[in-house]
Structure 1
């Protein structure tokens, strides 16, 4: 009796190349948009990805489609980090680390940050604001359950503060200012609420 082994069919070479090209384009776009903003040269993105402009336009027919792919990729990165941090033994450190990552993402993608706050499904197929709010809510609630974060705060409060730092320091010449401002916010997050006089 002949033993037959079941093999998963290999991905066709053409499909593999297309997938890899798309991944290279998104990675290059993240880098170029971070350096030059959402109006960056698409030809430069294609060049850094090691493909021709025609390949870029086959995957992304316009700038909006490419920006959408980069935003989706960025949100997935944040989601994966939040999921990992939810298993961290220190709830405070987990929240702080994720908010630092969120600040970095918001700052290096100037011009796209407003999309994080738009409560609309749009081209991504999901609500960016809601997904990010859910990540922050899980991490903040965990710190609040441990009694290490103020109970009167909401995740939306904290996100608005971090977005405010990103926007207000977009053109700051002071080294380390965004991080210092975030430290002040984190001190408030983990401090006792103040009573109004």
Structure 2
């Protein structure tokens, strides 16, 4: 009876730590996989992903038994992070255009479009209900950012969400042979963002990238 009681008391104390460790390893694997998929494409070796994540191969395969499972999880991870970013910027920034610009710069850094666009149409991971939910959350947050900027007279009324995301996506995936890294990439994004302002808007406010 005493041993049984001790075992029952010990398990709840250990389980949360193990769950936290597993969640942390999963997050590290997903972050490493996103980076390496953008750098090397969808055929990047699992060994390289595990090495960058700082975990063993067995840990990676325990979370993701095959490449398809990993790609599907990374796509959901990217969608979720992009939605989180849009919501966080909306909550943090009081100036509407600064908020919209901040999201655009963060999206370019995230390289979400580069990841989502690397798969041929027939090889993309299937869209799950979770992906639909995260994409809908992102669309709602982005439209909120754009509507605030429109109402404040800081965004041209003819600019649609599709216009905005296509341009940001192209800046995340430059033409082959053209670099778009660091300050240069953000400078080009600022040139695009400046074109979104109504003609009467103040164009002398300088770069909108918070890190400039």
Flag whether TM exceeds 0.5 (same fold). yes
RMSD of aligned residue pairs (Cα, Å):
2.9
Provide the residue aligned with 2:69 in structure 1. 65
Unaligned runs of at least 5 residues, structure 1:
1-8
Q: Structure 1 CA distance, aligned partners of 2:109 and 2:88?
A: 18
Provide the residue aligned with 2:56 in structure 1. 52
2:186 paired with 1:183: no
Unaligned runs of at least 5 residues, structure 2:
1-11, 120-124, 201-212
Q: For residue 102 of structure 1, report the CA deviation from its aligned partner.
A: 1.3
2:110 paired with 1:123: no
Q: For residue 170 of structure 1, report the CA deviation from its aligned partner.
A: 5.2
Q: Structure 2 CA distance, aligned partners of 1:141 and 1:58?
A: 44
Provide the residue aligned with 1:145 in structure 2. 151
CA contact (8 A) 1:25 1:45 kept: yes
Q: Structure 2 CA distance, aligned partners of 1:157 and 1:42?
A: 36
Provide the residue aligned with 1:5 in structure 2. none
TM-score (normalised: structure 2): 0.70
Q: 1:100 aligns with which of 105, 109, 120?
A: 105
Q: Structure 2 CA distance, aligned partners of 1:178 and 1:81?
A: 19
Q: For residue 58 of structure 1, report the CA deviation from its aligned partner.
A: 1.6
Q: For residue 89 of structure 1, report the CA deviation from its aligned partner.
A: 1.4
CA contact (8 A) 1:169 1:177 kept: no
Q: 1:82 to 1:170 in 2, by over 3 A?
A: farther
Q: For residue 112 of structure 1, report the CA deviation from its aligned partner.
A: 2.6
Where relative contact order (Cα < 8 A, 6+ residues apart) is larger, the structure is: 2
Could you report, residue by residue, the CA deviation over 1:119-141 in whole angstroms, capped at 9, with x for unpaired residues?
A: x9713622265443333211111
Aligned residues: 180
Query: How do residues 15-34 of structure 1 correspond to structure 2 at under 5 angstroms?
Result: 15-34=19-38
CA contact (8 A) 1:169 1:178 kept: no
2:13 paired with 1:10: yes
CA contact (8 A) 1:38 1:112 kept: no
CA contact (8 A) 1:103 1:162 kept: yes
